[in-house]
Amino acid sequence: MGQIKTTPIPRVQNISKADFIKNYYKPQKPVLIEGLTKNWKAFQKWNLDYIQQHAGDQTVPLYNNEPTKGKQNSAEPATEMKMADYIELIKNKPTDLRIFFYDLKVKLPELLNDFEYPDIGLKFFKRLPVLFFGGEGSKVLPHYDMDLADLVHFHFQGTKDVMLFSPEQTKYMYKIPFAVHNLETIDLDNPDFHKYPALQYLEGLQATMKHGDALYMPSGYWHYIKYLDGGFSMTLRAFPRHVGRLGNMLYNVFFMRHFENVMRKSFGQKWIDHKEKRSLSKTNQRAAKLKKQSL
């Protein structure tokens, strides 16, 4: 078994708007900014106890990593729980149960005063600050965000590992057609280069995030995330301004998603199996071609 090639994501303490735009936003390169949240109330206050106090009574849907099957829509929760019980669980035990896309503005608006939209040159979509929670060992399978937003991802309490892949790497990812994820049988921590030879050509970036770190993930970047301890994160998004990217975003959100749901409803597991086979054969052909060229 080999390993996926990665290099560290550049880290800075702080960054000016001009430097961020020039060195990271314009060239669409990720960066981890350590000091961006230091003056926020959230930096002092946001931990699992605080969430438990403010949202303990809410019932929350929880997701695991079971692949979606048959006629299911892409994202069905595995179960639900009171937030207080879920937080208790992730404080004390490993679990693969996660909270995904918790809409802060709707569910916990009093927390909106605890942070600011950073002045780094991104035009943030202020309607949608969202939280994500996971326990020790929870994994977020590799995917990119369908809306192709530029993302700033902030982590609170504990640590998490993040692997990123640029959109140019999509050709080696075993992406599933009409979806924003790859073959769910792939484990990027233990890649099976025999079964998935294209993974040998993949080049990613890696960082371990700690409390208060802010990670810029440019539009269309794949992310694979592992919670090393129970903790939570917030993502702020800025919508694409490039005409080409805007077109792709509209295609993903208004066509691809609905087309996929119709195909699943009509053909169920057969459709999923067909797409997985296609992804495997197309990507393996690409790897075979590259191997031949290198001989």
Ligand X SMILES: O=C(O)CCC(=O)C(=O)O
Binding residues vs ligand X (CB under 6 A): 98, 132, 134, 140, 145, 151, 153, 223, 225, 233, 235
Task: Tell me the CA distances in angstroms from 40 to 115, 116, 122, 272, one per residue in order.
Answer: 5, 7, 18, 44
Q: What is the DSSP string of the chain?
A: ----EEEEPPEES---HHHHIIIIITTT--EEESSTTTTSHHHHH-SHHHHHHHHTT-EEEEB--PPP-TT--S---SEEEEHHHHHHHHHHS----EEEEEEHHHH-GGGGGG-----SS--B-TT--EEEEE-TT-EEEEE--TT--EEEEEEESS-EEEEEE-GGGGGGTTBPTTSSBB-TT--TTS--TTT-GGGGG-EEEEEEE-TT-EEEE-TT-EEEEEESSSEEEEEEEE---SHHHHHHHHIIIIIIHHHHHHHHHHHTHHHHHHHHHHHHHHHHHHHHHHHHHH-
**Least distance in angstroms from the C-beta of 138 to ligand X:** 7
**Least distance in angstroms from the C-beta of 205 to ligand X:** 15
**Least distance in angstroms from the C-beta of 268 to ligand X:** 26
Give 175 or 223: the residue with its C-beta nearer to ligand X: 223
**Least distance in angstroms from the C-beta of 87 to ligand X:** 15
- Residue nearest ligand X, CB atom distance: 132
**Least distance in angstroms from the C-beta of 286 to ligand X:** 26
**Least distance in angstroms from the C-beta of 201 to ligand X:** 24
Give 233 or 279: the residue with its C-beta nearer to ligand X: 233
Give 188 or 287: the residue with its C-beta nearer to ligand X: 188
Give 97 or 287: the residue with its C-beta nearer to ligand X: 97
Q: What is the DSSP string of 41-56?
A: HHHHH-SHHHHHHHHT
**Least distance in angstroms from the C-beta of 151 to ligand X:** 6
Give 15 or 217: the residue with its C-beta nearer to ligand X: 217
Give 65 or 266: the residue with its C-beta nearer to ligand X: 65
Give 83 or 287: the residue with its C-beta nearer to ligand X: 83
